[in-house]
Structure 1
Amino acid sequence: MSRYKHAGDTEARQPLLTGHRLDASELDSDEGEVIFDRTAEAGGHVLQKLTYEEAVERAGFGLFHWLLLVVCGWANASDAVEILCVSFLLPTARCDLQLSSSDMGLLTASIFLGMMVGGYMWGYLADQKGRRRVLIVSLTVNGLFGGLASLAPWFWLFLLMRFISGIGVGGSIPVIFSYFSEFMPRLRRGAMISCLATFWMAGNILAAGLAWLVIPRTWVYLSLGTLEFKSWRLFVVLCSVPSITSALIFKLFMPESPKFLMEADREKEAIHVFRLMFKLNMKGKEKTPPALAPIKKIFRSPFKSRSFPLLIIFYSISFGYYGLWMWFPELFERTEDGGSPCANVSRPSAGQNETCDLVKTAAVYRDGFIIAAANLPGNIFTILVMDSTGGKALLSGSLLLSSLSVFFIYVVQTKAQSLILSCVFSGVSVIAWNALDVVGTELYPTKLRSSALGFFTGVGRVAAIMGNLVFGRLVDANCAVPILLVSALLLTGGLVSLLLPQTRQTELT
Structure 2
Amino acid sequence: MYRHVHTGDFEAREPLLTGEYPERDERDSDEGEIIFDRSTSKITCDDGGNTKRRLTYEEAVEEAGFGSFHWLLLVVCGWANASDAVEILCVSFLLPTARCDLRLSSSDMGLLTASIFLGMMVGGYTWGYLADQRGRRRVLVVSLTVNGVFGGLASLAPRFWLFLLLRFISGIGVGGSIPVIFSYFSEFMPRLRRGAMISALATFWMAGNILAAGLAWLVIPRTWAHFQSWRLFVVLCSVPSLTSALLFRLLMPESPKFLMEAGQEKEAIHVFQVMFKLNMWGKGKNLPEFGLCTSSKQRGEPEESRTHGSRRERLACVLKKASLPIKQMFNGPLQSRSVALLVVFYCISFGYYGLWMWFPELFERMESGGSPCANASLPSPHRNQSCYPVKTAVYMEGFIIAASNLPGNIFTIFMIDRLGGKALLSCSLLVSSLSVFLIYVVQTKVQSLLVSCVFSGVSVITWNALDVLGTELYPTQLRSSALGFFTGVGRVAAIMGNVAFGRLVDTNCAVPILLVSALLLTGGLVALVLPQTRQTELT
* Alignment map for 1:157-236 (pairs within 5 Å): 157-218=162-223, 220-222=224-226, 229-236=227-234
**In the alignment, structure 1 residue 348 sits paired with structure 2 residue 383:** no
Asked if 2 retains the 8 angstrom alpha-carbon contact of 1:98 and 1:349, the reply is: no
* 1:437 to partner: Cα distance: 0.4
Asked if 2 retains the 8 angstrom alpha-carbon contact of 1:2 and 1:19, the reply is: no
Cα separation, 1, equivalents of 2:342 and 2:511 = 23
Structure 2 equivalent of residue 452 of structure 1:
482
Choose the corresponding residue for 1:335, options 366, 369, 372.
366
Structure 1 equivalent of residue 154 of structure 2:
149
Structure 1 equivalent of residue 8 of structure 2:
none
* Alignment map for 1:7-156 (pairs within 5 Å): 14=38, 18-21=42-45, 46-156=51-161
CA shift in 2, pair 1:16/1:110, >3 Å: farther
**In the alignment, structure 1 residue 257 sits paired with structure 2 residue 231:** no
Q: Which amino acid aligns with 1:236?
A: V
* 1:357 to partner: Cα distance: 3.4
Matched residue SS, 1:179: helix
* 1:390 to partner: Cα distance: 0.3
Unmatched runs of 5 consecutive residues or more in structure 2: 5-36, 283-297, 304-317
CA shift in 2, pair 1:145/1:160, >3 Å: same
* 1:48 to partner: Cα distance: 2.5
CA shift in 2, pair 1:399/1:354, >3 Å: closer
CA shift in 2, pair 1:320/1:473, >3 Å: same
**In the alignment, structure 1 residue 294 sits paired with structure 2 residue 325:** yes
Matched residue SS, 2:66: coil
Asked if 2 retains the 8 angstrom alpha-carbon contact of 1:15 and 1:51, the reply is: no
Q: Which amino acid aligns with 1:411?
A: V
Cα separation, 2, equivalents of 1:53 and 1:407 = 44
Q: Which amino acid aligns with 2:43?
A: G
Count of residue correspondences: 472
Asked if 2 retains the 8 angstrom alpha-carbon contact of 1:378 and 1:430, the reply is: yes
Cα separation, 1, equivalents of 2:498 and 2:468 = 26
Asked if 2 retains the 8 angstrom alpha-carbon contact of 1:113 and 1:461, the reply is: yes
Cα separation, 2, equivalents of 1:349 and 1:72 = 44
Q: TM-score, normalised by structure 1?
A: 0.90
RMSD over equivalenced CA pairs, Å = 2.1
CA shift in 2, pair 1:221/1:16, >3 Å: farther
* Alignment map for 1:389-468 (pairs within 5 Å): 389-468=419-498
Matched residue SS, 1:340: coil
**In the alignment, structure 1 residue 371 sits paired with structure 2 residue 369:** no
Asked if 1 retains the 8 angstrom alpha-carbon contact of 2:108 and 2:502, the reply is: yes
CA shift in 2, pair 1:234/1:17, >3 Å: farther
Q: Identity percentage over the alignment?
A: 79
* 1:349 to partner: Cα distance: 4.3
Q: Which has the higher contact order (CA 8 A, sep 6+)?
A: 2
Asked if 2 retains the 8 angstrom alpha-carbon contact of 1:115 and 1:170, the reply is: yes
Asked if 1 retains the 8 angstrom alpha-carbon contact of 2:437 and 2:513, the reply is: yes
Asked if 2 retains the 8 angstrom alpha-carbon contact of 1:22 and 1:55, the reply is: no
* 1:22 to partner: Cα distance: 9.6
Cα separation, 1, equivalents of 2:321 and 2:87 = 32
* 1:329-375, Cα deviation, whole Å (9 max, x unpaired): 00000011111100001353499x9532334x210000000000000
* 1:277-301, Cα deviation, whole Å (9 max, x unpaired): 0000001743498000010000001
Cα separation, 2, equivalents of 1:83 and 1:407 = 25
Choose the corresponding residue for 2:266, options 268, 292, 298.
268
* 1:185-204, Cα deviation, whole Å (9 max, x unpaired): 00000000000000000000
Cα separation, 2, equivalents of 1:161 and 1:308 = 33
Structure 2 equivalent of residue 38 of structure 1:
none
Q: Which amino acid aligns with 1:378?
A: G
* 1:308 to partner: Cα distance: 0.3
Cα separation, 2, equivalents of 1:16 and 1:57 = 23
* 1:17 to partner: Cα distance: 7.5
Q: Which amino acid aligns with 1:63?
A: S
Cα separation, 2, equivalents of 1:309 and 1:195 = 25
* 1:103-151, Cα deviation, whole Å (9 max, x unpaired): 0000000000000000000000000000000000000000000000000
Choose the corresponding residue for 1:316, options 328, 347, 354.
347
Q: Which amino acid aligns with 2:144?
A: L
CA shift in 2, pair 1:357/1:315, >3 Å: same
CA shift in 2, pair 1:21/1:275, >3 Å: farther
Cα separation, 2, equivalents of 1:76 and 1:386 = 19
CA shift in 2, pair 1:349/1:147, >3 Å: farther
Structure 1 equivalent of residue 18 of structure 2:
none
* 1:368-416, Cα deviation, whole Å (9 max, x unpaired): 0000000000000000100011000000000000000000000100000
Asked if 1 retains the 8 angstrom alpha-carbon contact of 2:379 and 2:507, the reply is: no
Larger displacement relative to structure 2 (338-347 or 398-407): 338-347
Q: Which amino acid aligns with 2:279?
A: N
Choose the corresponding residue for 2:337, options 306, 312, 321.
306
Q: Which amino acid aligns with 1:244?
A: L
Q: TM-score, normalised by structure 2?
A: 0.85
Cα separation, 2, equivalents of 1:377 and 1:214 = 27
Larger displacement relative to structure 2 (189-198 or 47-56): 47-56
* 1:261-316, Cα deviation, whole Å (9 max, x unpaired): 11111111111101100000001743498000010000001100100000000000
Cα separation, 1, equivalents of 2:171 and 2:404 = 26
Q: Which amino acid aligns with 2:342?
A: L
Structure 2 equivalent of residue 7 of structure 1:
none
